[in-house]
A and B are shown apart, each in its own frame.
Chain A
């Protein structure tokens, strides 16, 4: 792009080994959605920006892969629900091709002991649910309205820019300062409460309590009966709280569509995207960042470096322990992940014949095991055992998006939770997870096992290996206080002038968000304009 004319290139477009390339305003490391978003922000602002990624294609862990002969699936996420509406608007992602095949996805919940519950829309549309017990429905409606209001209020607290000062208490105090005493009191209670306590206080034992128990536990490292386990649910709802833009949706073409749109936006912003250019180290001179050293020996020098990789890679490998504070190292290394979510694709033989099944396939299907089984599942997963029953979220891409229809086969995309975190799982562990997921799916789709042609399992270790990252970054998110602490520590970027971090640890909550990228890029631009870098 804005590269000097005499700068030689190899076939991939990366620098030639051993060469030093200057005249760059900003380097973004990591070509996942956060890296693409951060680079686009910087490029749009007129900075000569280079995005370097380790993989052959931008996208990071969100990647299209052949699951079975003739069948492609999308690794990483299958739905979006946290994508920052401001990022969509500011980067003009709709103009760059982002489309949704289904928005505010209808959901059907399945149980062991109760009939399935169908929501037209997601949980927030409680008023539309058909329930025999009107009181229960009213309770859910009131509860969801309350949570959505709190989520909207807490949106700033879920953004890295606010807590980059590193003081969670101060941040929370500031956030609560504008709240009514009733709202502040509710938030304080929900902050420390266990999901089990909150739900037991509002709902009798029954399907609503069961489904909420599983929804809260889904993708969380905290069991619902543990304190601090409820707040992450408010984070999940904060997408919906932002309006339709942030609601749970299925992008046309799958989650890769977000990557594609961001990539086009980056191209429009004249970002120089360089694939297959893994970074060996981040160059620090004094207390300033000076650029990056690539694995091939080439150097890119710039006053701004934004790392959109996992924190361990960025801080401990690329910067190195000798250049970061011990306290940051402690935050990044002291807690070993224990819980993960399994990502599966099932290729099924044949197509659904009956109308009910076909209608269900256009929905988000969610299996909520009994409350006691969810609690037991977390205990098992922590002990390194694969639980018997898993919470399952499933969608059929072909049913949601005609373009993804397969001939005489169907692809079911699944996320199953909780499973034990294991950076290098063996075949036995993989087989056990596949079987547990299939057994849980059988609870609501009897006989499905017989139609399974291929089962494809991706665990955090697989995703990390694909992008050369630390597997721990893709484990389930810990409790909210720890998420805030890690995000605050990493977003502060070790105090290195010109260095900004927007990897997964800088984000509150699971899923594609790009909030951290937006915060990091805006902070870099502020410093650039003030001449601080």
Chain B
């Protein structure tokens, strides 16, 4: 799951169900607001948290994301309409990523859908879509309840994620199938999720039990909490665009300018999440008309520099072609990794990025191969990539 952009001007965000637990683990005491919920930017240090996710297991409070429980006979059709995720094709326990598109095929949001039982699904989205969901449910036999804030949600990422879960006594949970049940008296659901293209598990449990579960995991000494800043590095390395940061969701694009249209999945490098040869979804007809005609491209870049800034100009052959939308220093790559929004006509391999003072000038940047871009290439049938792996997102 990807967090949306921060609410820069928000005041007094609400505490997430896990807030009391994660606050006790925070040394930095550095908080921000996501969707009006409190989110930790840093717990100890960005590099420590990053290393934990890479080598051990990172625990992320996913409370600021929005969750809906979807029940009813038409649940699969409803979710297949609302998102591009292949909900009808999911078996119980499976999850799938998808996108929410408007009628023109522009991206409104990312989505992750899990089937917990035959007619019970959970959908998680970076931002809230209550009105849209209510409208989409009209005329269908489906109930969609916003359960954000009613449940605690803990994301576990990293190579030792299963060890963390086992330490918590959640042995029946694995990273590929969702499960639900009562564990030591606490009703818990666990489902596979992805942080961009990185796999993980999300534990969902009643908010009243948030501290119990948290304590159970922390007492075993495996895993450590991870804040937004370290997750940002992981996100950029995996090539997952962030709504509100790397692109403006189509339902928030200002129409005043006339040329702001939102972004197609293809323009975000996410065409593999909206395949036109699968079932119908909202916006598919609009997308079909526009597909193959991208005007912009969101690309991952590796920049030969130690510092770079969002907003920095991107050049190709000396001419400006776009700008950096988000970036961070990658300890793994020893370079700055970034997303850049560029004109589709300038899509290539090599670019230059403007660097501000004190050493004003330009530095070289190359297109970065990420887990997400590999999936996109596989989907488009590029040589050396397996298309099957890209179009089947069930996990």
Contact = CB atoms under 8 A, between A and B. Distances in A.
Contacts of A334: 135
A330 B81 contact: no
Interface stretch (B54-62, B283-291, B325-333): B283-291
A329 B102 contact: no
A326 B132 contact: yes
B64 to A, nearest CB: 25
A399 B174 CA distance: 85
Interface stretch (A111-119, A187-195, A316-324, A375-383): A316-324
A16 interface: no
Interface stretch (B37-45, B136-144, B235-243, B383-391): B136-144
A152 interface: no
Contacts of A454: none
Contacts of A328: 103
The dominant DSSP class at the B interface is: helix
A104 B283 CA distance: 47
Given A326-B82, A326-B132, A321 B285 contact: no
Interface string A328-369: 111001100000000000000000000000000000000000
B280 interface: yes
Nearest to A333: B138
Nearest to B251: A327
B77 interface: yes
A321 B139 contact: yes
Contact of B103 (A169, A287, A327, A496): A327
B312 to A, nearest CB: 33
Interface string B99-111: 0001100000000
A327 B131 CA distance: 12
B284 A287 contact: yes
Nearest to A497: B285
Contact of B139 (A316, A327, A494): A316
Contact of A325 (B138, B139, B286, B288): B286
A495 B135 contact: no
Give the most central of A328, A329, A496: most B CB within 10 Å. A329
Interface in B95-143: 102-103, 132, 135-136, 138-140
Interface in A291-332: 316, 320-323, 325-330
Given A287-B285, A287-B288, A326 B139 contact: no
Given A287-B280, A287-B288, A322 B103 contact: no
Nearest to A329: B135
A320 B78 CA distance: 12
A330 B102 CA distance: 12
Contact of B286 (A322, A330, A333, A495): A495
A136 B80 CA distance: 63
B369 interface: no
A323 B103 contact: no
Given A287-B280, A325-B103, A495 B138 contact: no
A286 B278 CA distance: 9
23 contacts: A169-B258, A287-B284, A287-B285, A316-B139, A321-B81, A321-B136, A321-B138, A321-B139, A321-B140, A322-B81, A322-B140, A322-B280, A323-B280, A326-B103, A326-B132, A326-B282, A327-B102, A327-B103, A327-B282, A329-B136, A329-B139, A333-B135, A495-B285
Interface of B: 74, 77-78, 80-82, 102-103, 132, 135-136, 138-140, 258, 280, 282-286, 288-289
Given A322-B140, A327-B282, 18 more contacts: A169-B258, A286-B280, A287-B280, A287-B284, A287-B288, A320-B139, A321-B81, A321-B136, A322-B74, A322-B80, A325-B102, A325-B283, A326-B81, A326-B135, A326-B136, A327-B102, A327-B103, A329-B139
7 nearest A-B residue pairs (beta carbon): A495-B285, A325-B103, A327-B103, A321-B139, A322-B77, A326-B136, A325-B282
